[in-house]
Structure 1
Amino acid sequence: MTVLPDDGLTLASEFPEAPHEQWQHLVAGVLRKSGKEVSGDAAEDALSTLLEDGLDVRPLYTARETAPDAGLPGFAPFVRGGRAEGNTLGGWDVRQRHLAADNDAVLADLENGVTSLWLGAGGAGIPVSSLAKVLDGVYLDLAPVVLDAGDETAAAAELLLGLYEERGVADDAARGNLGADPLGHEARTGRPAYDLASVAGLARRCADRHPGLRALTVDALPYHEAGGSAAQELGCSLATGVAYLRGLTEAGLSVAEACAQLEFRYAATADQFLTIAKLRAARRLWARVAEVCGAPDAGAQRQHAVTSTVMMTRRDPWVNMLRTTVATLAAGVGGADSVTVLPFDDALGLPDAFARRIARNTSTVLIEESHLSRVIDPAGGSWYVERLTDELAHAAWEFFQSIERAGGQEAALRSGTIGERLAETWSARSRKLATRREPITGVSEFPHLTEKPVDRAPAPAQPAGGLPRVRRDEAYEALRARSDAHLAATGARPRVYLAALGPAAAHSARVSFAANLFQAGGIEPVTEGTFEESGAREVCLCSSDALYAEQAGTAAAELRAAGAEHVLLAGRPGDHPGVDSYLFAGCDAVALLSTALDRMGVS
């Protein structure tokens, strides 16, 4: 028998151990009071939350949860990090994105905490011919440069390599990524721009002369931004990475050399635990690919995390600062090597100096003040995170295998298979957004109709023609745009009068609920004065169920006599004479608001 030393912490020693079954029994008792007769595992199932990809979040995780051994940081399967030291040597690489030829902005970022540059070149972005000017004054041996030039990748890469030589940068001091990603470009545009044969030449040059420079990016953002789930994003990245390995090895590179030419780019969202698990699962899955290809030691995936554009809102954009903070924290905890924090006004156009400052300082605060980088794999050992990582890895591997069965990433893209699967996922999620089961703060919840809009210069047009780009706020944004146009044309927003029945205790909750919901669609709720004074054509009754039974019918008749064209009721549908429609928690808010705007003549 092992006798543990007395550490003085004996507070729980006098209490008997509480078995899992006892907890389930107590849960069943609470559920029974709400009318659910369940017991044992069924009681626990009743409190579980179903996520995308069939993932099931349990209400309680204990040592009973099983997951494969995550290994050690820096060693296969690299779940705990691709490097033994993690981000403890100064934190992650703070990578700022630039889409405009603004040398002053680039230098300001580098002088104030940014450690690498991500340049959107070609097309409507930074002209390739302007890259030298944009990088004027940048110490290229200290600041890695990552290119994203689409079908102008070859020209941009040659220019950057020429700058290294012209400015005397030692071959082994050049770091970053030339950004070649033919499949990612095809996903964005719907057309092939260049093939792997041309990319292989760049990879060979990097492998031979620039060991710190990579030639290819495996960008999973197109799949995330098309509405894909975490598992679909991972599965597409694996299929793309495998396609690149095949092409590079056929061109003469070894598997280890080919792996060293790839950097993977993933989205980081405000769902912090899913983001943490996604990055950890991505490393595990890529380690498996490298192992199968015969180069297990080359399976340490290099990761670039970017805060999600899907979660960014155009209304109340200040909330985006909170979203990106949580996403950045998750990326750091998940072990990303580089992190790009998109400015809070990214959805509105080109960011201003203040927005770029907040973006770069988000990482700085987490690294320097929160000391997030002082611990390697902070989430390691968490029963919940380890289990979620394992389940997500299996779901992603299954999706990856379905792509391979369809002929690989290129074939699956061109046949529409991937687009169809992503569209199905987004359709299901759109339903949650429309019913506000997935709330959007400042948009579907707690909107502010009178807030002054934030104006920004237009950003360069993004590549189009391939997979769509979606945003969580898009359905509500369309409603708000209709309201804005009505305001501009008539001088007033569409209105609804909230008729409160009974004392404040009876109607306050539903008045707040109704006001919140109507404002999400750009409809101004009026609570003061009489219906005749409100200027509204529609009315919404707000009270308790008990008072509805007594007064709803009479109130509806009186309001119709006063000129109300449509009567709504805040509550579940019931038998209430004179009531035309209902709004309640879980109703399709987008459909209800769109129909209301139609009735009000708001085009």
Structure 2
Amino acid sequence: MKVPPETLPLAADFPATTREQWQRLTMGVLRKSGLAGDDTPVGAVEDLLAYHDDEVTLAPLYTAEDPTPMPGPPGLFPYTRGGRATGAVAAGWDIRPRHADPDLKVTAEAIGADLEHGATSLWLVLGEHGLPPAGLPAVLEGVYLDLAGVVLDAGAAAVEAVPTWFALLAERRVPVAGVRGSLGVDPLGWLARTGQVWEGPTGEWARRCADGFPGLRSMTVDATAYHDAGASDAQELGCAVATGVAYLRDLTAAGLSVAAAFAQLEFRYAATADQFATIAKLRAARRLWARVAQVCGVPQDGAQRQHAVTSTVMMTARDPWVNMLRTTLACFAAGIGGADAVTVQPFDHCLGLPDDFARRIARNTQSLLLEEANVGRVIDPAGGSWYVERYTEELARSAWAWFTEIEQAGGMAVALDGGMVAERLAATWQRRADNVAHRRNPLTGVSEFPHLDEQLPARPPAPAPPGGGLPRHRYAHAYEALRNRAEAHTADTDRRPTVFLATLGPVAVHNARAGFAANLFAAGGIATVRPSVGDDDPARLAAEFAVSGAGVACLCSSDRVYGQSAEVVARALSAAGASRVWLAGKPAGYGGVDDYLFAGCNAVAVLETTLDDLGVA
């Protein structure tokens, strides 16, 4: 009888592999797919597969051979692995819902429900873009202010909101040691959002917090303003560091020590459904801020306090339930990346003010990750991954270069006022919007797999966000504008814009491209109809087109069938009244065909052209 070994050897019995073996095997696949030629050097495979995201280049393979800096232990300089030396076993991160409904009664009830069901702090938007500052006592009635942290976001209304907050704390005799949160003062963020300069008694408030409220911070560096304007992750980080440095200068000039000034700042970042990008961004942000603290001579005070908010840019108004998946991924990444506080935006955020169900799902997303998945019990679980460590380093270097460029231009205020930031972010957004338009970055439920007959939930309108400065973007906007245009036409005419799919040959031949075309047109709110019989008879197809009521046609079949029938069918459809004849396939110069749609085409341009051809205003 054979006795099993006491230890499991795992991969020990397998032959050792090398990077060169991986390169050869991968190059073989690329050559078969036509992405590389027979004479392409094997070593070029990593350049062919490299991913370029704005200023960061990611290789397809990372091993121990790739040098990365030592990230240090959690809780110690450079804080890459986290600002705490111990795990978050007891509480995990801070669950921080956002409230902006100006109806005081509704907001008070929502706050009560949030705190009763898992929220640990509150984010209150005040002023003309949210709650009236004078309503703070009413919406916080019954809230134990020494147990629940409160973060204010008042913009220029801080001159009214902050004194109201301090008066409320004094009136309720809240123990100063128990007060947590932030006054949320962010003058440069207000300048970025509105283009307006705001100057308040920030130094006075900071001194009051530093001297009397050890758990209360006075200033927020809200980098989501730059994310919303189209910034890359590196640009978002660079703007955040430049803003933080500007605030350090202001606070020390107001009389605070350098260490006390560092303690007054909290940073807010966007978390997206790109998990590894979000993880690397939060880790890189801590590394960058630790470097600033080191240069300032207080490396021990460089543990950045981070508030992660699920990205508004990635949210959609169409098929909004998919947002639950996007925000779950973003929340998971924020937790893995080491955020101290997380806000999950309700799935109906783009439709207006959220209802109770949307708020509950947003809360429970975090509770599930914390209580059931135990995400908050592990310190920096992504640490040690060659990919994550290298991604963090590349992002930090790129962000630091952008930060120094801003400093050389005169600082964040000058860079904003002079248009330098807006110009750079606009260029980045244009690249990203182009990727969305060509569906290189697909949006589920919007640019891919749209549901034409969906019934969107009705929501009361939310207060308009501040404007006048950097723009606010969403990836889905171009497609949703086209859908809205088509829906308005449908409501006015009682008929949806329609394209006739001229399917040539049997189903097995035409179905793949017909499905592709139908999916693409649906992204613009355009329905499609097919002939009752798939064949190549031009007269039959022209007759069916004429009775379909569609004003545009699209040929769908294989390249072989196109070579035999495309031109004659296209001319027959034009003669039957088609204002434009598309062909689903790569451009090939077929006579009678006006244009082509294919994987990688500009889908937004195709949809705009089709709606124009169909007379949709």
**1:525 paired residue number:** 528
**1:149 paired residue number:** 154
CA–CA separation in structure 1 for the residues paired with 2:520 and 2:282 = 36
Q: Is the 8 A contact 2:278 2:337 kept in 1?
A: yes
**1:559 paired residue number:** 573
Asked if residue 128 in structure 1 is aligned to residue 130 in structure 2, the reply is no
**Scaled by the length of structure 1, what TM-score is found?**
0.97
**1:112 paired residue number:** 117
Shift of 1:558: 2.6
SS of alignment partner, residue 490 of structure 2: helix
Instruction: Describe the superposition over 1:397-456 as per-residue Cα deviations: whole angstroms up to 9, x where unpaired.
Output: 000011001100001000011000000000111110110101111111111111112211
Instruction: Describe the superposition over 1:105-163 as per-residue Cα deviations: whole angstroms up to 9, x where unpaired.
Output: 11001000111000001113100111110000100000000000011113211111111
Mapping for residues 165-180 of structure 1, pairs under 5 Å: 165-180=170-185
Q: Is the 8 A contact 2:551 2:613 kept in 1?
A: no
Unaligned runs of 5+ in 2: 533-543
**2:52 paired residue number:** 50
CA–CA separation in structure 1 for the residues paired with 2:10 and 2:214 = 56
CA–CA separation in structure 1 for the residues paired with 2:303 and 2:555 = 60
Shift of 1:7: 5.7
Asked if residue 385 in structure 1 is aligned to residue 413 in structure 2, the reply is no
Q: Alignment partner for residue 481 of structure 1, among 466, 479, 484?
A: 484
SS of alignment partner, residue 500 of structure 2: strand
Report which stretch shifted further, 581-590 or 13-22.
Answer: 13-22
Shift of 1:378: 0.8
Asked if residue 158 in structure 1 is aligned to residue 134 in structure 2, the reply is no
Q: Is the 8 A contact 2:223 2:239 kept in 1?
A: yes
CA–CA separation in structure 2 for the residues paired with 1:193 and 1:565 = 55
Shift of 1:194: 1.5
**Scaled by the length of structure 2, what TM-score is found?**
0.95
CA–CA separation in structure 1 for the residues paired with 2:96 and 2:108 = 16
1:33 partner letter: K
SS of alignment partner, residue 12 of structure 1: helix
CA–CA separation in structure 2 for the residues paired with 1:66 and 1:150 = 44
**1:3 paired residue number:** none
SS of alignment partner, residue 385 of structure 1: helix
**2:553 paired residue number:** 539
- Alpha carbons of structure 1 residues 584 and 208: separation in structure 2 relative to 1, 3 Å: same
**1:90 paired residue number:** 91
**1:23 paired residue number:** 22
Instruction: Describe the superposition over 1:468-500 as per-residue Cα deviations: whole angstroms up to 9, x where unpaired.
Output: 000001111111111011011101111101111
Structure 1 residue runs of 4 or more that deviate by more than 6 Å after TM superposition: none
CA–CA separation in structure 2 for the residues paired with 1:121 and 1:346 = 18
**1:219 paired residue number:** 222
CA–CA separation in structure 2 for the residues paired with 1:544 and 1:176 = 62
Q: Is the 8 A contact 2:486 2:524 kept in 1?
A: yes
Shift of 1:356: 0.2
**1:67 paired residue number:** 68
1:483 partner letter: A
CA–CA separation in structure 1 for the residues paired with 2:14 and 2:149 = 57
**2:540 paired residue number:** none
Q: Alignment partner for residue 448 of structure 1, among 432, 448, 451?
A: 451
Instruction: Describe the superposition over 1:362-403 as per-residue Cα deviations: whole angstroms up to 9, x where unpaired.
Output: 000000111111110010101110000000000000000110
Instruction: Describe the superposition over 1:188-223 as per-residue Cα deviations: whole angstroms up to 9, x where unpaired.
Output: 11011225xx10110100000000000000000110
- Alpha carbons of structure 1 residues 11 and 288: separation in structure 2 relative to 1, 3 Å: closer
Unaligned runs of 5+ in 1: 1-5
CA–CA separation in structure 1 for the residues paired with 2:531 and 2:322 = 29
Equivalent residues, number: 595
Asked if residue 573 in structure 1 is aligned to residue 587 in structure 2, the reply is yes
CA RMSD, Structure 1 to Structure 2 (Å)? 1.1
Q: Is the 8 A contact 1:27 1:44 kept in 2?
A: no
Mapping for residues 311-390 of structure 1, pairs under 5 Å: 311-390=314-393
CA–CA separation in structure 2 for the residues paired with 1:600 and 1:21 = 55
**1:298 paired residue number:** 301
Report which stretch shifted further, 417-426 or 477-486.
Answer: 477-486
1:42 partner letter: A
Q: Is the 8 A contact 1:350 1:457 kept in 2?
A: yes
Shift of 1:565: 2.4
Q: Alignment partner for residue 396 of structure 1, among 396, 399, 404?
A: 399
Q: Is the 8 A contact 1:494 1:597 kept in 2?
A: yes
1:79 partner letter: T
**2:538 paired residue number:** none
CA–CA separation in structure 2 for the residues paired with 1:351 and 1:369 = 25
Q: Is the 8 A contact 2:193 2:467 kept in 1?
A: yes
CA–CA separation in structure 1 for the residues paired with 2:501 and 2:29 = 36
SS of alignment partner, residue 265 of structure 1: strand
CA–CA separation in structure 2 for the residues paired with 1:560 and 1:124 = 53
**1:264 paired residue number:** 267
**1:273 paired residue number:** 276
- Alpha carbons of structure 1 residues 41 and 7: separation in structure 2 relative to 1, 3 Å: farther
Asked if residue 550 in structure 1 is aligned to residue 568 in structure 2, the reply is no
Instruction: Describe the superposition over 1:10-62 as per-residue Cα deviations: whole angstroms up to 9, x where unpaired.
Output: 25333220111111111122222233132333012212221122x22222221
2:62 partner letter: Y
1:537 partner letter: G
2:608 partner letter: S
Q: Alignment partner for residue 181 of structure 1, among 170, 186, 199?
A: 186
1:12 partner letter: A
Instruction: Describe the superposition over 1:47-99 as per-residue Cα deviations: whole angstroms up to 9, x where unpaired.
Output: 2221122x222222211122110001100000000111243332100000000
Shift of 1:510: 0.5
Shift of 1:520: 0.7
CA–CA separation in structure 2 for the residues paired with 1:173 and 1:251 = 26
CA–CA separation in structure 2 for the residues paired with 1:550 and 1:359 = 55
Mapping for residues 408-427 of structure 1, pairs under 5 Å: 408-427=411-430
CA–CA separation in structure 2 for the residues paired with 1:520 and 1:256 = 53
SS of alignment partner, residue 30 of structure 2: helix
CA–CA separation in structure 1 for the residues paired with 2:385 and 2:355 = 39
1:20 partner letter: R
Q: Is the 8 A contact 2:230 2:429 kept in 1?
A: yes
Asked if residue 13 in structure 1 is aligned to residue 12 in structure 2, the reply is yes
Shift of 1:330: 0.3
